[in-house]
Amino acid sequence: MTDRGELPGGKLNRLRVLWREGRCTFGAIATIPSVQTVQVMARSGLDWILIDMEHGPIDVGAAHAMIAATSGTPLVPLVRVAAATPWHAKAPLDLGALGICFPMTTRRADAEAAARAVRYPPEGERFWGPFYAPLRWDISMREYLDRANDEVLAIGTVEHIDALDTVADVVATPGLDLVFIGPGDLATSMGFKGRVEEPAVQSAILKLESTILSSKVLLGGVARNAEQANAMIARGYKALVLGFDWGLLEKGIATALAGIRSAT
């Protein structure tokens, strides 16, 4: 990286560089409104974090602090919002997020709204006001405005049974960069309330995978262990969620306690 935080080729968004090299990227979902937690995650080897403003107790002020905590590290800050509107996307982007993840991307109209929400006119409907994003990336306001539409990611989430019939239209949407398959909500929409191991849910995931992989949109998902992650990489996934901050913390504590108990 240069002293201005840029990557080779003049890119700010490291994920775009890694994907062009054909690599899978790894991240975690941050639900705890904690600068300290992000500082640890940013130096853990992850490629990105997804700051959860949809389900986590994270307000705009906390999101700003968490995004700023990634400065000086390779970690790319992304934010998950509650709806595909410019109103939900604008504050995280103006604070320095390089991508927005939108829920329930079930129809082409959802994907179009997502793509337009993260980009300035004429390509989109993002409003002006990036007061802090240029500071996060150490570039001028003018340069940020000139480059933002190319750097920022529009990310959809396919997580409803209805998407089995519509996912081809979703991934044919110009401007959509990545689609996550959301197994928990998908299972719930099928009547299994988060039980992703059900054969019907696994079959639905494979059908969604096949359609997304046949498109130009990158595929993302959730890997619950290393074996599953390696299998998903082999199938063509380019972004894998390796866990939630609270789950990784809980797992680490449980592992430490199990080691102590097994020795006594």
Which residues are catalytically annotated?
55
Q: How many CA atoms lie within 13 A of 7 on its CB side?
A: 13
**Six-digit token pair at 146?**
């000139």
Q: What residues are paired with 99 via a beta bridge?
A: 153
* CA atoms of 77 and 101, how far apart (whole Å): 11
Instruction: Give the DSSP letter string of 40-97.
Output: HHHTTT-SEEEEETTTSS--HHHHHHHHHTTTTSSPEEEEE-SSSSHHHHHHHHHTT-
Q: Which of 252, 246, 254 is nearest to 57 (CA)?
A: 246
